[in-house]
Amino acid sequence: MHSRDEDSASQSKSFPEETHSSRRHFLSQLAALSASLTIAVPGARAASSKERSNPEASDPERPESLIDIVLKVNGQEKRLKVDSRVTLLDAVRDRLNMSGTKKGCDHGACGACTVLVDGKRVLSCLTLAVMAQGKEVITIEGLAHGDELHPVQAAFVTCDGFQCGYCTPGQIVSAVGCIGEGHTRSDSEIREFMSGNLCRCGAYPNIVQAIKQAAIEMKGAAS
Ligand code: FES
Ligand code: FES
């Protein structure tokens, strides 16, 4: 892990108040809508990108690779029949139609696919769906309560913690984990423990501000 490049601060843009307002409206809608571990499988080849994008695809020469699994996602049990090599990311996005979790690099390098598994941050692109059985999976869609945004989602809106928004679901879920871990004692600590989540737009200063704000609010709510 390494600290954020300080130059990223210079990439944060200033906007007139009217633009802020319309952006906040857009981002608020986006947040509402879009309401790690590496697992090596001995002897198993990696699923091809075509197989990954179609979790039901199986190797015709290996029909035994199609299995029934039960995933508990955002409190609801979901029964799926998937190739045993399908990732949790593809199962959630393509089978459960929860597209809030984003596929960025698909190689464990960007953090866009971050979800919580039993409360811990994991990269769903590097996690086999089958390994998530019997565990609580929380995606970005599971954070809000109806129309009420999670404090971290609300803080990202008020602090303008996003620009294009593509990295944002992963940033928010990771921030929930970061706050839960108690790694919010300073800006540098937040940057360090959020360093696995990349933002090409360079919204880092506002993301740090949002996490600080949400951590204070959540701490106050808990006490
Ligand atoms: Fe998983 Fe980039 S898509 S780390
Ligand atoms: Fe665009 Fe982070 S807001 S990549």
Mutate to test the pocket of ligand 2, among 140, 163, 208 (most ligand atoms within 8 A of CB): 163
Same fold, 63-142 and 151-222: no
* CATH 2.60.40.10 is right for the domain spanning 151-222: no
How far apart (Å, rounded) are the C-alpha atoms in residues 37 and 45? 18
* Segment 165-198, tens digit of pLDDT: 999 999 999 999 999 999 999 999 999 999 999 9
Gyration radius (Cα) of the chain, Å: 18
DSSP string, 201-221: T--HHHHHHHHHHHHHHHHHH
Q: Which of 52, 101, 113, 115 to mutate to test the pocket of ligand 1 (most atoms within 8 A of CB)?
A: 113
Report the predicted TM-score, pTM, of the whole model to 2 decimal places.
Answer: 0.76
CB of 103 sitting under 6 A from ligand 1: yes
* The CATH fold of domain 63-142: Ubiquitin-like (UB roll) (3.10.20)
The highest-confidence range among 22-26, 38-42, 140-144, by mean pLDDT, is: 140-144
Q: Each residue of 65-120: pLDDT tens digit?
A: 689 999 999 999 999 999 999 999 999 999 999 999 999 999 999 999 999 999 99
Separation between Cα atoms, residue 5 and residue 145, nearest integer Å: 35
pLDDT of res. 63: 63
Q: Is 123 in the pocket of ligand 1 (CB under 6 A)?
A: yes
| Mean pLDDT of the chain, nearest integer | 82
Q: In one letter, which amino acid is 18?
A: E
pLDDT at 143 over 50: yes
| Domain assignments of the chain as residue spans, ordered by start | 1-57, 63-142, 151-222
Query: Whole-angstrom Cα distance, residue 172 to residue 8?
Result: 19
The one-character DSSP state at 70 is E
